[in-house]
Structure 1
Amino acid sequence: MMIPVRCFTCGTVIGEHWDEFKQRARDGNEDPGEVLDDLGIKRHCCRRMMVSHRDLVDVVAPYQ
């Protein structure tokens, strides 16, 4: 599914950073921790949401 707009724990807006994080950390060769630092995501709850998110849109789409 899509990344949540806000962190479930603290409510900080994190959805706006997803595309850049995905491009730099997952598709590129940068360290995810450094990318999150550059994006200004400091809280561990927000970092958890970014690192552990799995984009399942392509997996679920055939069943709709």
Structure 2
Amino acid sequence: MMVPVRCFTCGNVVAEHWEEFDERANEGDEDPEAVLDELGVERYCCRRMLVSHRDLVDVVSPYQ
């Protein structure tokens, strides 16, 4: 549904980076690795939280 606020493993805040990451990496032509480096997301557990997230709000919202 929504991106988790904190990383499940280490507890760092990752939700603050989601919008910029989504715009630049998923909708643009930039490399996700470079985008995460520029955003300052260094830990691989936090990186996986952003890279593996799939936004399902548009899919689920018609059923509410």
Q: TM-score, normalised by structure 2?
A: 0.97
Q: TM-score, normalised by structure 1?
A: 0.97
The percent of aligned pairs where both chains have the same amino acid is 72
Matching residue of 1:32: 32
Measured against aligned partners, the alpha-carbon deviations of 1:34-54 in whole angstroms (never above 9, x if no partner) come to 000000001010000100000
**Cα RMSD between the aligned structures?**
0.5
> Aligned runs of 1:1-64 on 2, under 5 Å?
1-64=1-64
List alignment gaps of at least 5 residues for structure 1: none
Paired letter, 2:13: V
C-alpha deviation, 1:27, in angstroms? 0.6
C-alpha deviation, 1:63, in angstroms? 1.2
The separation in 1 between residues aligned to 2:10 and 2:62, in whole angstroms, is: 33
C-alpha deviation, 1:25, in angstroms? 0.3
List alignment gaps of at least 5 residues for structure 2: none
